[in-house]
């Protein structure tokens, strides 16, 4: 007998009313009962709903059975999840961090699974963990500790071309950005692209990933909205650099984006599961976690890593497409994630799950990129492996003004003056991304000189962002 594919409408006919229950049911059946007849599948799922008690301890159906558990029984579970007293965490650049972001980190440190924490000087308020927050947990992963844009990253290509080449060919560089990049929700390029990540077996490992494969194909090589960008500029290197290049300015390409619709769908799906399984007080419900030994935890970990590799593939394609269009080849590359979770061994030999939400890995000798705003320099850095920061650094300058506040207080003409003053050409973008909406990158870098060593600077010249 062939595989039977249940649909949401089939489950609604047997009184499955929530999106969460329907999604879980389809996923479980596709994994464990895919060869049963449709009638057998529906009878089984009907029994799980009507007799949930006998399935609560079931390894396969337990998580689905919890969907039908009465609220008064679930309340007992919430009482088990009481938060402990806040643990200690290191803060870098406290004077640059808002109180609401600091309080978010304090709350995260009260989780029973929290072991270590740190805040970077670019930190500001987010969902769950603050952006710029680093949290190490034991045998558990927090989907919103990674964030919606799984694997959001920086990627820098350096070309053996000087500043005069960029100035002489400004029009061609602008056209490359217009023709070979695409921004925003649902965006896709009108050129055929291939990448090995699209052939990965993981896309067949869960019903959700199977469903998302088509979207991943279409969005390969594109960028998100908000603060995501692709820009040409100049990298300034000293004599002592890691690229075996003479001191001077080199044409460079810098991109910032993540895993697109693939990562967002994974994050939302498993965050819903985490919040159902891990009942926390309302103030902390975005910090719900998945045990890595659980089926959902293992699925999320696999999906998160695939999304991270997909994010890298998107940057690979962006850089390949632009380089090919311009007929130039890079001679150096620096890249790093800053929305991800890693299994890392600590100095005492224990393995913890280190969440870096808007934070750059800074292990000893590890290269990374920390951007400023569209008119401020970014920095190529080398990590110093500082344990107090959980071997992390900031992921940028960090916002000092919300998007709404920036739009309401900055006019388009004011922003144009800022760009003209700094010799920057902007394609797309909006006042919510105006340079003054961000912290001073120089101050941020001074607050983390014990975390990273600066080995080069990047000066933006031609910037493309999503239209607002």
Do residue 215 and residue 328 come from a single domain? yes
> 279-293, 416-430, 439-453: lowest mean pLDDT where?
279-293
Q: pLDDT at position 108, please?
A: 94
- Residue 340 sits in a domain of what CATH number? 3.90.1860.10
**pLDDT value at position 468?**
62
Same domain, 200 and 342: yes
pLDDT reported for residue 79? 44
Least confident of 61-65, 153-157, 159-163, 330-334: 61-65
**Does residue 300 form part of some domain?**
yes
pLDDT at 81: 52
Whether residue 421 has pLDDT greater than 70: yes
pLDDT the model gives residue 391: 97
pLDDT at residue 334, as a whole number:
97
Residues 298 and 388 placed together within one structural domain of the fold: yes
Are 56 and 177 in the same domain? no
Q: What is the pLDDT of residues 194-216, one digit of tens each?
A: 899 999 999 999 999 999 999 99
User: Which pLDDT value is given to residue 71?
Assistant: 59
Answer yes or no: do 35 and 169 share one domain: no
By the 8 A CB rule, do 145 and 358 touch? Answer: no
pLDDT band at 82 (very low <50, low <70, confident <90, very high): low
pLDDT beyond 90 at 428? yes
Q: Which residue has the higher pLDDT, 411 or 80?
A: 411
Establish if 3 belongs to a structural domain.
no
Task: Using alpha carbons only, give the angle 381, 387, 388 rounded to the nearest 5 degrees.
Answer: 100
- How far apart CA 419 and CA 379 sit, in angstroms, is 20
Q: Residue 308 has which token pair?
A: 């991270």
DSSP state of 329: -
Confirm if 18 and 67 have CB atoms less than 8 A apart: yes
End position of a domain, from candidates 38, 69, 100: 69
First to last CA, the chain: 51
- Residue 432 and residue 340 in one domain: yes
Given 49, 69, 89, which residue is the final one in a domain? 69
Does 119 reside within a domain? no
In a domain, 456, yes or no: yes
Residues 158 and 303 in one domain: yes
User: pLDDT tens across 102-119, in order?
Assistant: 999 999 999 999 999 999
- Residues 31, 160, single domain; the answer is no
pLDDT at 58 (0 to 100): 84
Residue 427 in tokens:
């394609």
Structural domain contains residue 351: yes
Question: What is the number of structural domains in the chain?
Answer: 2
Quick one: 196 and 306 in the same domain? Answer: yes
Q: Which pLDDT score, from 0 to 100, does residue 161 have?
A: 96
Range of the domain at 398: 145-467
Average of per-residue pLDDT across 17-38: 88
Q: What is the pLDDT of residues 375-405, one digit of tens each?
A: 999 999 999 999 999 999 999 999 999 899 9
Q: Is residue 80 part of a domain?
A: no
Question: pLDDT digit string (tens) for 214-261?
Answer: 999 999 999 999 999 999 999 999 887 788 888 899 999 999 999 999
In the predicted model, what is the mean pLDDT of the chain?
A: 92
Do 217 and 347 sit in the same domain of this protein? yes
Secondary structure string (H, E, C) spanning 36-77: CCHHHHHHHHHHHHHCHHHHCCCCCCHHHHHHHCCHHHHHHH
Question: Is 191 a residue whose pLDDT tops 90?
Answer: no
Note whether 170 and 273 are same-domain residues.
Answer: yes
- Domain presence at residue 293: yes
- Residue that is last in its domain, among 43, 69, 95: 69
Position 389 in a domain: yes
**How many other β-carbons are positioned within 10 Å of the β-carbon of residue 54?**
11
Q: Is 150 found in the same domain as 53?
A: no
For the stretch 370-373, contacts whose Cβ atoms lie closer than 8 Å and that sit 24 or more positions apart, written own/partner, are 370/154, 370/394, 370/395, 370/396, 370/441, 370/445, 370/452, 371/154, 371/254, 371/256, 371/396, 371/397, 371/441, 371/458, 372/396, 372/397, 372/438, 372/441, 373/397, 373/433, 373/435, 373/437, 373/438, 373/441
């Amino acid at each position: 007998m062939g595989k039977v594919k249940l649909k949401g409408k089939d489950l609604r006919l047997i009184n499955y009313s929530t999106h969460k229950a329907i999604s879980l049911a389809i996923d479980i059946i596709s994994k464990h009962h895919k060869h049963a007849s449709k009638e057998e599948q529906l009878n089984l799922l009907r029994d799980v709903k009507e007799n949930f008690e006998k399935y609560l301890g079931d390894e396969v159906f337990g998580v689905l059975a919890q969907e039908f558990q009465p609220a008064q029984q679930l309340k007992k579970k919430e009482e088990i999840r009481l938060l402990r007293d806040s643990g200690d965490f290191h803060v870098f650049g406290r004077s640059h961090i808002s109180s609401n972001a600091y309080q978010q980190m304090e709350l995260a440190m009260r989780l029973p699974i929290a072991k270590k924490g740190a805040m970077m000087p670019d930190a500001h308020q987010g969902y769950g963990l603050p952006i710029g927050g680093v949290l190490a947990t034991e045998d558990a992963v927090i989907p919103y500790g990674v964030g919606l844009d799984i694997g959001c990253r920086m990627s820098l290509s350096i070309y053996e071309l000087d500043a005069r080449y960029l100035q002489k060919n400004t029009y061609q560089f602008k056209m490359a950005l217009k023709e070979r990049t695409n921004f925003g929700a649902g965006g896709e390029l009108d050129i055929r692209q291939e990448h090995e990540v699209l052939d990965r077996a993981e896309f067949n490992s869960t019903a959700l990933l199977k469903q998302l494969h088509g979207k991943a194909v279409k969005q390969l090589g594109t960028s998100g909205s908000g603060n995501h960008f692709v820009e040409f500029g100049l990298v300034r290197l000293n004599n002592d650099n890691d690229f075996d290049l003479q001191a001077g300015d080199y044409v460079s390409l810098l991109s910032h984006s993540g895993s697109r619709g693939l990562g967002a769908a994974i994050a939302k799906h498993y965050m819903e599961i985490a919040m159902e399984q891990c009942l926390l007080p309302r103030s902390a419900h975005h910090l719900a976690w998945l045990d890595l030994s659980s089926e959902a935890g293992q699925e999320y970990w696999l999906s998160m890593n695939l999304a991270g590799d997909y994010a890298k593939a998107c940057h690979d394609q962006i850089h390949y497409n632009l380089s090919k269009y311009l007929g130039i080849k890079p001679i150096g590359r620096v890249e790093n994630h800053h929305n991800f979770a890693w299994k890392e061994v600590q100095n005492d030999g224990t393995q913890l799950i280190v969440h870096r939400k808007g934070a750059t890995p800074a292990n000893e000798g590890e290269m990374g990129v920390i951007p400023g705003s569209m008119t401020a320099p970014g920095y190529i850095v080398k990590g110093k492996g500082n344990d107090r920061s959980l071997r992390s650094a900031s992921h940028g300058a960090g916002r000092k003004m919300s998007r709404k506040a920036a739009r309401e207080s900055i006019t388009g003409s004011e922003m144009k003056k800022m760009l003209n003053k700094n010799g920057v050409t902007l394609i797309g973008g909006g006042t919510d991304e105006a340079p003054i909406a961000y912290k001073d990158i120089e101050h941020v870098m001074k607050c983390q000189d014990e975390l990273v060593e600066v080995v080069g600077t990047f000066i933006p010249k031609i910037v493309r962002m999503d239209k607002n």
